[in-house]
């Protein structure tokens, strides 16, 4: 194959550092795996039963592009109840990643700038590149809070979109009202599209979840069942926002993803009303264990939502510390996968208790032993 066949945009997209760790895990005999960004519990049985029933009943063809009526009605009713915006419409997507691609492809022209916060979910930068845009990073170290003055300073005439994610992957930071409201009002004032990635909204441990859509009715919200109901491989999400924007994204979905997986949407009908409070409580308990076990040896901020701790390496770079952890059979993700800096590492505490216990033992030992000579 000729190298000239490969489009230039692909040279600006790196292979995921997370996938590299997954590949490494497959070769290890008994890894302590705290790298995976997905729930450790299985999809609840009633949801699986609904999907199986839909398959058996032949609901395996394309659905309507915007989604099946029973699930769409539940999502729309929930959105209407929460926000009361007369122009806010919802549709179903092929996962939140599909929603992100639709949103950025619809909004971003070549050369437009998209502001994302450093640390960011890995797809933000690369999907912006795919859309022809430029990702502008706003630093949130060391506390991971959003500084509105830094955001204002990053805005230029080419700024088209601001992307926010709360609770955050990788930091677990949950934005407070001052951050959320300030960002929402700034975007409204500057006529900038605000995309709120709310895939972890169910997992807030120290306070309520707040969406910027509460203060800016033009906010585009992306959400889904992947994390809350452990449906990562089933690819079912939803979006809502101003109707004229949603219609453009539905049009694009028709010519890309076509629709969210049809039988899975019937699982979504059950998932919408399924109580996951026991899962949330379990992850709160796991968060408390990990943070309390590590706080004397590591600098930790955030960790108030999702299921991640983004800790500062006590010596060396984040990559060097992770390499030493891997030598001790512990799989974690270096922070530079999510950031322009190489100072931290990400732990996922979506794991069995014994795995977490083994993991913190390794982390404390590697922290105390110091940088290898």
The DSSP secondary structure of 207-243, one letter per residue, reads: S----GGGT-TT-EEEEESTTTTT-GGG--EEEEEEH
CATH 3.40.640.10 fits 45-271, yes or no: yes
Q: What is the pTM of this model?
A: 0.94
d(CA 135, CA 27): 34
pLDDT of the residue at 22:
59
> What is residue 278's predicted lDDT score, i.e. its pLDDT?
97
Max Cα–Cα distance, the chain, nearest Å:
64
Whole-number pLDDT of residue 3: 76
pLDDT of 317 reads 96
How far apart are alpha carbons 205 and 306 in whole angstroms?
Answer: 9
Which 3 state secondary structure label does DSSP give 140? coil
Question: Where do you find CATH 3.90.1150.10 in the chain?
Answer: 3-43+276-367
Domain 3-43+276-367: which topology? 3.90.1150
Question: How far apart, in Å, are the Cα atoms of 373 and each of 65, 77, 271, 344?
Answer: 58, 60, 52, 20
| Tokens linked to 343 | 């100072």
Grouping H, G, I as helix, E, B as strand and the rest as coil, residue 372 is coil
Residue where the block lists tokens 């592009």: 65
The pLDDT, as a whole number, for residue 281 is 98
Q: 291 — phi, psi (to 5°)? A: -65, -45
CA distance linking residue 129 with residue 359, whole number of Å: 36
Residue 372: what pLDDT?
A: 80
What residues have CB less than 8 Å from 216, skipping those under 6 apart? 184, 185, 187, 188, 194
Can you give the pLDDT at residue 29?
78
Is it true that the peptide bond before 167 is cis, omega within 30 degrees of 0?
A: yes
Task: Say if residue 322 is preceded by a cis peptide, omega within 30 of 0.
Answer: no
Q: Of the candidates 275, 229, 292, 215, which has an alpha carbon nearest to the alpha carbon of residue 96?
A: 229
Tokens of 188: 């409204």
Residuewise pLDDT in 10s, the chain (373 residues):
577 888 888 877 776 555 566 566 667 778 999 998 899 999 999 999 999 999 999 999 999 999 999 999 999 999 999 999 999 999 999 999 999 999 999 999 999 999 999 999 999 999 999 999 999 999 999 999 999 999 999 999 999 999 999 999 999 999 999 999 999 999 999 999 999 999 999 999 999 999 999 999 999 999 999 999 999 999 999 999 999 999 999 999 999 999 999 999 999 999 999 999 999 999 999 999 999 999 999 999 999 999 999 999 999 999 999 999 999 999 999 999 999 999 999 999 999 999 999 999 999 999 999 888 6
The answer to whether 316 touches 182, Cβ cutoff 8 Å, is: no
224 membership: H or E segment, kind and range = strand 220-224
- Give span(s): CATH 3.40.640.10, the chain: 45-271
For 15, 102, 140, 358, 366, the CA distances from 238, given in Å and listed in that order, are 26, 11, 28, 37, 42
- pLDDT value for 30: 83
Which two structure tokens, joined as six digits, stand for 216?
Answer: 């800016």
């Amino acid at each position: 194959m000729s190298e000239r066949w490969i489009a230039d945009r692909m040279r600006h997209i790196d292979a995921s550092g997370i996938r590299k760790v997954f590949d490494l895990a497959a070769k290890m005999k008994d890894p302590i795996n705290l790298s995976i960004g997905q729930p450790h519990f299985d999809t609840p049985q009633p949801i699986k039963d609904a999907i199986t029933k839909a398959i058996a009943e032949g609901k395996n063809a394309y659905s309507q592009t915007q989604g099946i009526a029973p699930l769409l009605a539940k999502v729309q009713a929930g959105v209407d109840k929460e926000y009361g915006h007369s122009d806010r419409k919802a549709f179903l997507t092929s996962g939140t990643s599909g929603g992100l691609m639709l949103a950025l492809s619809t909004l971003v022209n070549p050369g437009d700038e998209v502001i994302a916060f450093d640390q960011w979910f890995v797809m933000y930068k690369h999907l912006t590149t795919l859309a022809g845009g430029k990702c502008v990073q706003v630093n949130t170290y060391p506390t991971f809070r959003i500084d509105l003055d830094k955001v204002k300073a990053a805005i230029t005439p080419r700024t088209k979109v601001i992307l926010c994610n709360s609770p955050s992957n990788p930091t677990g930071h949950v934005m407070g009202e001052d951050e959320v409201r300030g960002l929402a009002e700034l975007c409204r004032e500057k006529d900038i599209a605000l995309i709120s990635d709310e895939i972890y909204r169910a997992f807030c441990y120290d306070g309520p979840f707040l969406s910027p859509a509460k203060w800016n009715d033009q906010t585009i919200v992306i959400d889904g069942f992947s994390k809350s109901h452990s449906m990562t491989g089933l690819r079912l999400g939803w979006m809502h926002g101003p109707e004229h924007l949603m219609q453009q994204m539905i049009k694009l979905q028709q010519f890309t993803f076509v629709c969210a997986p049809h039988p899975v949407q019937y699982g979504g009908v059950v998932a919408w009303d399924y109580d996951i409070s026991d899962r949330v409580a379990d992850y709160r308990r796991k968060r408390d264990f990990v943070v309390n076990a590590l706080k004397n040896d590591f600098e930790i901020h955030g960790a108030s939502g999702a299921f991640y701790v983004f800790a500062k390496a006590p010596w060396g770079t984040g990559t060097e510390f992770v390499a030493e952890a891997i030598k001790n059979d512990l799989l974690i993700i270096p922070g530079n996968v999510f950031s322009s800096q190489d100072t931290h590492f990400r732990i996922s505490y979506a794991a069995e208790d014994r795995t977490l216990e083994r993991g913190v033992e390794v982390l404390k030992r590697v922290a105390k032993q110091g940088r290898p000579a």
